[in-house]
Structure 1
Amino acid sequence: MSTSRSSRSYLFVPANRPERFAKAQAAGADAVILDLEDAVSIDDKDHARQQLADYLEGGGTGIVRVNSIETRWHDDDMRLCALPGVQAVMLPKANSAGDIVAARSHMPASVPLLPLIETARGMANANGIAAAPGVSRLVFGTVDFRTELGIDGDEAELLTFRSTLVLASALAEIESPVDGVTVEIGNVDLLRAACVRSRRLGFGGKLCIHPSQVGAVNAAFSPSAAELDWARRVVDLARSSPGAFQLDGKMVDAPVIARAEQLLRLAPVPAA
């Protein structure tokens, strides 16, 4: 997982497919999610957990998506998350701050928690979940959420709920949330449009279900060359122009300067 900036891309890989782990790690994603939940069949849960334990004990790393608190596999999954190499824990179907407290009681204090908001209860309790100790970032589980609420569509239909997670994250002063997957793997135009929409709404990253999606996601959640050029000019002028000033025919004041500084913090680190 990236340590120099917030992760933009989170790539899922099934925990029962160890032959795919290296490919996932090499795909360019900022973070890899080793998935014990949806990607693993009921009959293979215990075997997948052992395969993942072998990988982590052998020096592997990644985020672990455990099974939800209501399942019989959850406690064993959480014990696995004490192993070295676990960079964060993703908790599916996080419904309340109490779920966060329960999960964290089985985790090392240094390991971040990423709650998946994918139920009506979770969305209703988003403020409390975001503010719970140890939560690093909210993640929107759009597919499960749409299924529970009977929502047909991923655009305007989810606008209110996406904005709810952005607001909850800001109130809790945690990282901007991560948007859900685009299930149409081969539709690059749809993926790019989804990323642009998410970033404009205040999301900072997106879940990926295939390595081919990573590049487009990373590009969309990174400042463009034009944005960085504008930000540098704003910051440079702010040093010599106290108060408000004009740039390119637009007023620049403290909030605009803060936005420019934010963009510069997101700029890629030059290679050594």
Structure 2
Amino acid sequence: MPNPIAPDSRWCPPGPAMLFCPGDRPDRYQKAADRADVVILDLEDAVAADNRDAAREALVATQLDPDRTIVRINSSSTGEARRDLAAIAETLYRVVLVAKAESAEEVARTEMQTIALIESPTGAVNVNEIAAAPNIIGMMWGAEDLVAGLGGTSSRFGPDEPRPGTYRDVARHVRAAVRLAAAAHDLFAVDAVHLDIADVDGLRDEVRDAVALGYQATACIHPSQVQTIRDGYRPSAEQVEWAGGVLAAAEEHAGVFSYDGRMVDGPVLSQARAVLTRAGVDPAQD
């Protein structure tokens, strides 16, 4: 079912690096905004339960550019979401990230443009239903809460296991399910955070894979991760040249054709347009 929010009125990430910032640390708000493409002001996990009122007060008192800001609110099951939304109503922010989203009804309850964060077993099972919520614009997933909900201990393989540092199969399954559900409902998708800040190579590999799967952004927890994410999403000069050449050649062919030794059909043209879009080039104008 088509999303009733018109595509030209939906918020979308202005860049690929989305940085979490604790809601109760207003001294960090502007610093985060200066470093990242999008700031996620967090009223949930990053804030101790007894400090959430202070975080909401800071949210209202210290406002950022609403075009580059998302507010993560608590799950409706905690009883905190209503107070979060009341605080947001006093700001210019219009996009929320619903933590531990588990149903379309929960997403619709915000009455705002909403990104659903899939990070529980129930949310993972209901991912396609959630993606059909009337006010949803994007989806994100999270590994650690997911594994905790399974009664597990780690989302990734350890140093003495196969594929050390990479996601275990259940986490990979949810990552793929979120991407598929988002694409099926014409939503953008945001990849999960890489918690090991020192593991730059691991983050780089994960971003490269996210780009290959069509993710539009990656969330992060530290400013030092921003440039790695930006670099990973930015196409190389060679990729941009190839994409532009393919689309130019397509103007001279009515069907399948060969370009640079490769067969080109509809899906390849879509991939070329995606490359130009990530490079900041309008494919229609190329």
Number of the residue aligned with 1:18: 26
Flag the 1:5–1:243 CA change in 2: closer, same or farther, 3 A. farther
Deviations 1:201-249 (A, max 9, x none): 3322111101110111112122222211110110111112221211121
Number of the residue aligned with 1:217: 229
Of residues 208, 212, 220, the one that matches 1:200 is: 212
Number of the residue aligned with 1:263: 275
Give how far 1:170 is off: 1.5
- Asked if the contact 2:191/2:210 (under 8 Å) is kept, the reply is yes
- Asked if the contact 1:94/1:116 (under 8 Å) is kept, the reply is yes
In the alignment, structure 1 residue 246 sits paired with structure 2 residue 258? yes
Secondary structure (helix, strand or coil) at the match of 1:65 reads strand
Number of the residue aligned with 2:62: 55
Give how far 1:5 is off: 6.1
- Asked if the contact 1:143/1:180 (under 8 Å) is kept, the reply is no
Secondary structure (helix, strand or coil) at the match of 1:161 reads helix
Deviations 1:119-159 (A, max 9, x none): 01101111111111111110101111122222541525222
TM-score, structure 1 as length reference? 0.88
Q: Summarize the alignment of residues 57-96 of structure 1 with structure 2, pairs less than 5 Å apart.
A: 61=66, 62-96=69-103
Of residues 167, 184, 190, the one that matches 1:171 is: 184
Deviations 1:45-84 (A, max 9, x none): 111111111113xx65421111111123221101122233
Secondary structure (helix, strand or coil) at the match of 1:103 reads coil
Flag the 1:43–1:4 CA change in 2: closer, same or farther, 3 A. closer
Number of the residue aligned with 2:245: 233
Secondary structure (helix, strand or coil) at the match of 2:62 reads helix
- Asked if the contact 2:18/2:218 (under 8 Å) is kept, the reply is yes
Gaps of 5+ in 2: 1-10, 157-165
Gaps of 5+ in 1: none
Worse-matched range after superposition: 63-72 or 144-153: 144-153
Residue 142 of structure 2 aligns to which amino acid in structure 1?
A: G
Residue 119 of structure 1 aligns to which amino acid in structure 2?
A: S
Flag the 1:152–1:269 CA change in 2: closer, same or farther, 3 A. closer
Work out the CA distance in 2 between the residues paired with 1:233 and 1:214: 30
Give how far 1:6 is off: 5.3
Secondary structure (helix, strand or coil) at the match of 1:136 reads strand
Flag the 1:60–1:187 CA change in 2: closer, same or farther, 3 A. same
Number of the residue aligned with 1:144: 145
Work out the CA distance in 2 between the residues paired with 1:253 and 1:75: 49
Work out the CA distance in 2 between the residues paired with 1:20 and 1:63: 15
Work out the CA distance in 2 between the residues paired with 1:241 and 1:135: 38
Number of the residue aligned with 2:135: 134
Deviations 1:169-228 (A, max 9, x none): 1211222x1111111112211110111122223322111101110111112122222211
- Asked if the contact 1:119/1:144 (under 8 Å) is kept, the reply is yes
In the alignment, structure 1 residue 187 sits paired with structure 2 residue 187? no
Work out the CA distance in 1 between the residues paired with 2:54 and 2:140: 27
Secondary structure (helix, strand or coil) at the match of 1:86 reads coil
Flag the 1:257–1:226 CA change in 2: closer, same or farther, 3 A. same
- Asked if the contact 1:25/1:32 (under 8 Å) is kept, the reply is yes
Give percent identity, aligned residues only. Answer: 36
In the alignment, structure 1 residue 9 sits paired with structure 2 residue 22? no
